Amino acid sequence: MSHTHSSAMAITFVLFLAQIFVSVTSSSEADKIISLPGQPEVTFQQYSGYITVDEKQHRALFYYFAEAETDPASKPLVLWLNGGPGCSSVGAGAFVEHGPFKPSERLLLKNEYSWNKEANMLYLESPAGVGFSYSANESFYEFVTDDITARDNLVFLHRWFTRFPQYKKNDFFITGESYAGHYVPQLAQLIVRTKTRFNLKGIAIGNPLLEFNTDLNSRAEFFWSHGLISDSTYKVFTTVCNYSQIWREYQSGNPTAVCAQVNKLVKREISRFVDAYDVTLDVCLSTIDQQAQMLNQLQETEKIDVCLEDETFTYLNRKEVQEALHAKLVGVTSWSVCSEVLRYNMQNLEIPTVPILGELVKSGIQVFVFSGDQDSVVPLIGTRSLVNKLAKDLGLNTTVPYRAWFAGKQVAGWTQVYGDILSFATIRGAAHEAPFSQPERSLVLLSALLEGQPLPEAVFSR
């Protein structure tokens, strides 16, 4: 047998094996969504389903993927993670914030500021126990940590890219908000450290929990500067007992008399009729507000009013919707925006993630931190000071001095960029969930991130 012939046979055999491998692993066709109930006609493809991250424990994570409206092959891939810990990226991120549709009664309405105008959007319900994601071994839920979440998310990505190999070369960004100030940097760090060959270009985190004491204690100044508490209360709130102290005492179940008194005073002045997630809003918000509930939970705190007509909850609990999404309920009786089975290790809230941001910057990953400026849960005041300090520690010079940025003809917020790699921006008039409350401005911010450009300056025609 000639050498050429045997080489040809070997190549044929390798191709044959490759085909088998692809047919086994690439079941993206099986995940294709034909159409969601009540959905308007669209030209882009949608997929959803499960990726097993642990065969032994039967642990599987649920995802929803909306390809870009135009030219998906050349557009970046953006992973979105909601916070909590324990809240749903599909329910909050996709259906309330920036996915292609928003539920309204029995219909889905087109979202004109959907992020899939700019990118291929991948929404992941993580860790297991959140939304439709599950672990058949329920003891998994008893003690979930940031480490476990990051590792499972990395396994998910490896297997998702095997199912969707055509996206492996696209620019890749990891984004999220609130407690995703932990999830996003930790996952990016794991990708960098394991030298995983995803094309990771940058991360973006909104109103993120980065450093527990700074973030929580900046609430006092936020409340005071917005007129929600008096001068005298501001004084005791910063000298007698601060917010991080109050949180720790209530977590341990035995608040001291002095901190309980300060907490009572603050709550009485703010009143029960202000939404901590958007201090200027005077109507009830959707369940999306539960996603940072953990950051806010004190014993006396009432559950956040999630409005009686919660469209997303109703929609995702319809049988035919779950069938269209290839979703199932395992160990729970209904889908919920924030997990009722998960016991997250709340000590993890105190892990600072600012050093991880520094590590990512050093490895050449774009880091974009943004703040809805009406949020008192993780206020811009603490976030801005943390980014500022990080830039100093890294020795980064300011490349875009603090200035206003624009969406349309209006000021959309303020921004500062350090070393062309670390950016901070506020989104004017935005709540804790910025894309929900300021969709147009958030979409402009996403575009800037994906293009690696500073946020737009004012351009007024004469």
Tell the burial category of 136 from Cβ atoms under 10 Å away from its Cβ (0-12, 13-18, 19+).
Answer: middle
Report the candidate in 427, 349, 424, 425 with the shortest Cα–Cα distance to residue 392: 424
Out of 89, 133, 178, 339, pick the active-site residue. 178
Out of 423, 432, 437, 442, pick the active-site residue. 432
Distance between CA atoms of residues 148 and 413, nearest Å: 36
> What pLDDT was estimated at residue 308?
35
Tell the burial category of 227 from Cβ atoms under 10 Å away from its Cβ (0-12, 13-18, 19+).
Answer: exposed
> What pLDDT was estimated at residue 311?
87
- The DSSP bridge pattern shows strands 77-81 and 120-125 to be parallel
Report the candidate in 400, 311, 261, 278 with the shortest Cα–Cα distance to residue 104: 311
Asked if 170 and 199 count as a contact pair (C-beta separation under 8 A), the reply is yes
Contacts of 85 (CB under 8 A, 6+ apart): 127, 144, 149, 179, 182, 294, 342, 344, 348, 349
> What pLDDT was estimated at residue 106?
84
Contacts of 4 (CB under 8 A, 6+ apart): none
> What pLDDT was estimated at residue 17?
40
Distance between CA atoms of residues 289 and 353, nearest Å: 23
Please give the biggest Cα pair distance in the chain: 94
Contacts of 177 (CB under 8 A, 6+ apart): 82, 83, 205, 206, 207, 208, 291, 432, 433, 434
Side chain identity at residue 36, one-letter code = L
Sign of CA pseudo-dihedral 111, 114, 120, 124: negative
Q: Specify the fold of 32-211+347-451.
A: Rossmann fold (3.40.50)
Sign of CA pseudo-dihedral 182, 184, 185, 187: positive
Active site residue 432: yes
List, run by run, the mean pLDDT of 10-residue segments along the chain (462 residues): 54 46 60 96 97 95 98 98 95 94 89 97 98 96 96 98 96 97 98 93 98 97 97 96 94 92 95 87 57 54 43 93 97 94 94 98 98 96 98 98 95 97 97 92 97 87 48
Q: At what angle do helices 243-252 and 257-270 cross, to 10 degrees?
A: 120
> What pLDDT was estimated at residue 189?
98
Distance between CA atoms of residues 161 and 155, nearest Å: 10
Out of 375, 376, 437, 442, pick the active-site residue. 375
